[in-house]
Amino acid sequence: MTRIGVLVSGGGTNLQALIDNEKAGKIPHGKICLVVASNDKAYALERAAKAGIPSAAVRRKDYSDQDAYDEALVSVLKEHDIEMVILAGFLSILGPRFIQAYPDRIINIHPALIPSFCGKGYYGLKVHEAALAKGVKVTGATVHLVNEIPDGGRILLQKAVEVQDGDTPEILQRRVMEQAEWILLPKAAEMLAEMIEEEKQS
């Protein structure tokens, strides 16, 4: 079974979707073994505690530079023998050192259909604000592998969500979570975990 580490920064709704899907037997090749928050007040840590999952907070401001922060994150993950990493609303930037420690083993969920509304500066509500400002009729979510380019890694899964008249960024954000993010992320987690298990066997 692939040991999964989930990196979070806030409320942890995507983490909850992963926990619920794992409980329901929908991630048979993976097990969430650690939750790491970039902020020690993140509600996601409560969710981890309720689910009996070990957790840690590793704050960017406690480290002098990106390399030191990456090093700290990698060492926490290695202590728990983590084989695969899921970014579930993780707002701190990851540097090359972290990405190289887990090549093709990090997935991220982005709340738009990449290549739209992605890259540097597009995160959280900003993505939905941009989609509404542009007047798009369809948005959605994308799960992709993480490389050195923000939102630039290979796309694993995408799902479209309709934009409705009268949507605010908050309403659209919620619909994208419910109709796309919470469905795609557990699916992608299972896809990658199964691939890792097959590689171990070969």
Q: Are 160 and 139 in contact (CB under 8 A)?
A: yes
**Residue 110 falls in the annotated catalytic set:** yes
- pLDDT, the chain, mean: 96
Rounded to the nearest 5°, which phi and psi values hold at 191? -55, -50
pLDDT of residue 87: 97
Confidence of residue 50 (pLDDT cuts 50, 70, 90): very high
| Ramachandran bin of 31, using left for φ above 0, alpha for ψ from -120 to 50, beta for the remaining angles | beta
Give the span between the Cα atoms of 5 and 85, in whole angstroms.
5
The Cα 42–Cα 36 span in angstroms is 10
Percentage of the residues of the chain whose pLDDT score is greater than 90: 94
Give all strands of the β-sheet with 30-37 in edge-to-edge order.
55-57, 30-37, 2-8, 84-87, 106-110, 138-145, 155-162
Integer Cα distance of 59 and 138 in angstroms = 36
> pLDDT tens digits for 81-102?
999 999 999 988 899 999 999 9
Tokens of 154: 């290979």
Query: Residue ranges of the domains in the chain?
Result: 2-201
Upstream peptide bond of 115 is cis (omega within 30 degrees of 0): yes
Q: Choose, from 29, 110, 128, 144, the residue flagged as catalytic.
A: 110
What percentage of residues in the chain have a pLDDT greater than 70? 100
Q: How far apart (Å, rounded) are the C-alpha atoms in residues 147 and 85?
A: 12
Cα 7–Cα 27–Cα 25 angle in degrees, nearest 5: 125
DSSP secondary structure letter of residue 5: E
**Residue 164, helix vs strand vs coil:** coil
Mention the CATH class of domain 2-201: alpha beta
DSSP state letters, 75-133: HHHHHTT--EEEESS--SPP-HHHHHHSTT-EEEEESS-TTTT-STT--THHHHHHHHH
Give me the half-sphere count of Cα atoms (radius 13 Å) on the Cβ side of residue 97: 11
Query: pLDDT tens digits for 113-144?
Result: 999 999 988 989 999 999 999 999 999 999 99
